Amino acid sequence: MKADSAVIRRISGTAVAVRGNDIDTDRIIPARYMKELTFDSLGQYSFYDRRFDESGNPLEHPFNDPRFRDASILLVNENFGCGSSREHAPQALMRWGIRAVVGESFAEIFAGNCTALGIPTLTLGREQIEALMQRVESDPQTEIRIDLEGCNLTAGDLSVALSLPDTQASMFLNGTWDTTTILLEGREQIGATAESLPYMRDFPYDHPRGG
Amino acid sequence: MKGALSPGVCSKDIILSVIAALGVKGGLGYAYEYGGAAIAALPMEARLTICNMSIEGGARVGYINPDQVTFDYLEGRRFVPRGEDFNKAVDFWRQIASEADADYDDRYELDAAALEPMVAWGINPGQAVGVKQKLPKAGEVKPEDREALQIAYDHTGFRAGAPIEGQRIDVAFIGSCTNGRISDLREAARLARGGRVASHVQALVVPGSQQVAEQAAAEGLPEIFREAGFEWRGAGCSMCLGMNPDVLVKDQICASSSNRNFIGRQGSPKGRTLLMSPAMAVAAALAGEVTDVRQMIKGGRA
């Protein structure tokens, strides 16, 4: 249902930087922690093998640093979320408390999965993200404000422009990022489109009956 | 992709080579279309391996234009239109193939004849070399790839400049959505027949689906694998991602026909994954180390 509560115009909070290019979804959440019945408790497994050694002793990692524990904005570098398309990756980050991810670039399926959870993935240049990461690392309490309408981000006196594809921006601003709901609402249009497709209309696939 | 593949070189080597050349971000924001003589000559299942790994090259999607190989593969299959409907479908599919003069944002050419079996040795599928090549030194990769290279050496313990051929392995895994199809298992069985898995190696063969498992059983493949010392398992993902008990232990090294070698991917945070074709994985299982499957073929083993 398109609800006003689903509209996302602004996100604010403190941030945490996880540096490095090509951080894959196996690093965001190792597959062995995907066997939960629900997504509810996945947050604790975020970056698990980076945060703990094999004996469960904590390692140095921004997600283990108490100064960043309440951060809701994740700062990353290039191609974040590559690899397996597992929805568990954005789910884990969301359950951890992340509400937006800002970085140089994102793997596309990961970005799509984030969008479908109401988590914008916003991009900016290398110099801007570096400045932002340094700011946050030197002052973890820096209040970050992201404005999706103006597509910019402020961190104290630092202000940078962000990029977000128009389609994604409109999904957040109109509260239509929950694609399952959109599909359910659009039944009639889906049916009409299906009727117009040659492979549905002219040569339907061989319907298996009962498997 | 021009030219023809040499014996022992297959579609997995094509896609590993493409990702090695263009990087794991090469396709970000784009689709990959694969074409040319080397692709046209590939059977359908080999094409699926290539398209499957487009994601590893950063592309949203990868495809090969429909041709007679595609139509022949589809005809008679479940979910496919039948009779006159099938002819209509083929007419439609022909229309959606790219025109010969289509515009592309970029082109990359590869000579399949010059390709050797590939091994992705590092922590992403782009860190791959030919089996006869040496692992790269920092100065031999693009500046933006040096950080990942260092992480790869820190994780694997391999040395820059060392050959990948001869690297001892602990586990061999033949399976996954990338290379767990019936044609993969037939090729693997052809190479495994009459051989013996090295005594220090655990070797698993895992069909990609129930249908593949049934077909393989009907062709007697499980017996061939078992006689050669491979474990024949039920269909599934198995050691591709370590969600069931098939996982690497500690820093074991796995010769794997799967698609991803990220840190921890095969269930152990310290585990090491070498991606390669099913034929190369069988060769490694028998030799107990990374070896050039082309020599095995020449030596009359298959």
pLDDT tens, residue by residue, B57-77: 999 999 999 999 999 999 999
Rg (CA), chain A: 19
pLDDT at A207 over 90: no
Mean pLDDT over B79-89 rounds to 93
Kindly list the structural domains of chain A, giving each domain's residue range(s) and its CATH number in brackets, ordered by start.
7-169 (3.20.19.10)
Contact call for residues B278 and B11 (beta carbons, < 8 A): no
> pLDDT of A132-165, one tens digit each?
999 999 999 999 999 999 999 999 999 999 999 9
CB nearest to B243's CB, from A24, A32, A202: A32
* Structure ipTM: 0.84
The predicted model scores a pTM of 0.92
Q: What token pair was written down for B104?
A: 């592309």
Q: Which has more pLDDT, A184 or B39?
A: B39
Residues of B in Cβ contact (< 8 Å) with A108? 28-29, 60
pLDDT at B302 over 60: no
Mean pLDDT over A155-183 rounds to 93
Ramachandran region of residue A159, left (φ > 0), alpha (ψ -120 to 50) or beta?
Answer: beta
User: Helix (H) and strand (E) counts for chain B?
Assistant: 12, 9
Q: Would the CB atoms of A24 and B86 count as touching at under 8 Å?
A: no
Instruction: Name every residue whose Cβ is closer than 8 Å to that of residue B6 and which is 6 or more positions away in sequence.
Output: B113, B115, B116, B294
Residues of B in Cβ contact (< 8 Å) with A79? 24-25, 28, 58
Nearest CA in chain B to A35: B243
Q: With bands split at pLDDT 50, 70 and 90, how would you rate the model's confidence at A211?
A: very low
| Alpha carbon of A107: minimum distance to chain B alpha carbons (Å) | 7
Q: What is the CATH number that goes with domain B11-96? A: 3.40.1060.10
> pLDDT of B111-167, one tens digit each?
999 999 999 999 999 999 999 999 999 999 999 899 999 999 999 999 999 999 999
pLDDT at A199 over 90: no
Asked if B24 reaches chain A (Cβ–Cβ under 8 Å), the answer is yes
Average pLDDT of chain B is 96
User: Superfamily for B117-302?
Assistant: Aconitase, domain 3 (3.30.499.10)
Nearest CA in chain B to A53: B269
Q: Which residue has the tokens 């490095």?
A: A20
Average pLDDT of chain A is 93
> pLDDT of B260-278, one tens digit each?
999 999 999 999 999 999 9
Give residue limits of the domains in chain B: 11-96, 117-302
- What interhelical angle do B182-192 and B44-52 show, nearest 10? 100
Q: With bands split at pLDDT 50, 70 and 90, how would you rate the model's confidence at B105?
A: very high
Closest CA to A202 of B50, B90, B243: B90
Q: Would the CB atoms of A22 and B24 count as touching at under 8 Å?
A: yes
Q: With bands split at pLDDT 50, 70 and 90, how would you rate the model's confidence at A210?
A: very low
Cα distance between residue B256 and residue B285, in whole Å? 10
Nearest CA in chain A to B248: A32
Cα distance between residue B113 and residue B92, in whole Å? 33
Q: Would the CB atoms of B242 and A30 count as touching at under 8 Å?
A: yes
| Alpha carbon of A90: minimum distance to chain B alpha carbons (Å) | 18
pLDDT at B25 over 50: yes
Nearest CA in chain A to B125: A83
Contact call for residues B273 and B245 (beta carbons, < 8 A): no
Asked if B154 reaches chain A (Cβ–Cβ under 8 Å), the answer is no
CB nearest to A198's CB, from B92, B247, B250: B92
